[in-house]
Amino acid sequence: MDFNEIKNTWKNSFYEKERLTSDQIEAMLKIKSKSNTALSKIKSSFKFELITGGGMYLFIISGIFVLVNTPQSIIFFVIVSLLMGIPLFFYYRTYKKIRHTIYTENTLKQSLQRTTKDIEKFVMVGKNNSLKYMLIPMAIITGMFMGLFIGTGENNIIEIFNSLKTRSIIKMIVLLVIFGGIMIPFSKYWFKKKFKQHYIELKKCLKELEEETNN
């Protein structure tokens, strides 16, 4: 434990109504360390999602305009922008709020309260199963339609459907169920691993801090 941190925390306790004991100072610094670790992991997760998500978006959009003819390419561009833009918007909005946050002895409690509140909104949206059950199948269906346009070279959607055999339609439905059955549980696991568990850790730190300061 850094001596300067102990000294600063002890000095700051003079401005409180009751001076902190050595045990309280030690507990506060441990909480600060755990909080910064959890926050750092959350920030890294946001950066990873934004960079990879943005890269995938640019790659897909480039492929659409190269491989799909107009006006279908414009339609796919709008659909993909909505499907990928909605999640990326929530990621960026939350990351923007917490990216400059650093927990210090002076503002530990206030910063923890503010950060957990900001992340809580993001976690509540991420836990919403209806979004997963809507966005993921729609993304898979969009990919299938893109494949049909590219594979057949046909620009008329009605002509494409008329050319499809019953067996091909059944295959598409089976693929939709399989990929949806894999991607939806995986997205839940990924979200919990990258965000939810660290958010829970921050809430625990806040609870510990409140208990320490109330003792």
pLDDT digits (tens, 9 = 90+) for 125-136: 777 667 777 888
CB-CB neighbours of 20 under 10 Å: 19
Of 42, 88, 36, whose CA–CA distance to 61 is shortest? 88
Residue 70 domain-assigned (yes or no):
yes
CB-CB neighbours of 213 under 10 Å: 15
Q: Which amino acid is at 63?
A: G
Question: Residue 9 has which token pair?
Answer: 């925390």
SS3 content of the chain, % helix, strand, coil (to 5): 85, 0, 15
- Mean pLDDT score of the chain: 77
Residue 33 domain-assigned (yes or no):
no
Residue 34 domain-assigned (yes or no):
no
Residue 71 domain-assigned (yes or no):
yes
Q: Which amino acid is at 143?
A: G
Instruction: Give residue 83's domain range.
Output: 39-97+118-208
Residue 142 domain-assigned (yes or no):
yes
Q: Give 107-128 pLDDT, tens digit per residue.
A: 667 777 888 888 887 888 777 6
Question: Residue 118 has which token pair?
Answer: 């900001």
Percent of the chain at pLDDT > 90 equals 7
User: What is the number of structural domains in the chain?
Assistant: 1
Q: Give 14-28 pLDDT, tens digit per residue.
A: 344 445 555 655 666
Q: Which residues contact 118 (CB under 8 A, 6 or more apart)?
A: 94, 97, 98
Of 34, 35, 9, 37, whose CA–CA distance to 22 is shortest? 9
Residue 215 domain-assigned (yes or no):
no
Residue 135 domain-assigned (yes or no):
yes
Tell whether pTM > 0.85.
no
Residue 27 domain-assigned (yes or no):
no
Model confidence at 60: pLDDT above 70: yes
Question: Residue 192 has which token pair?
Answer: 């919990």
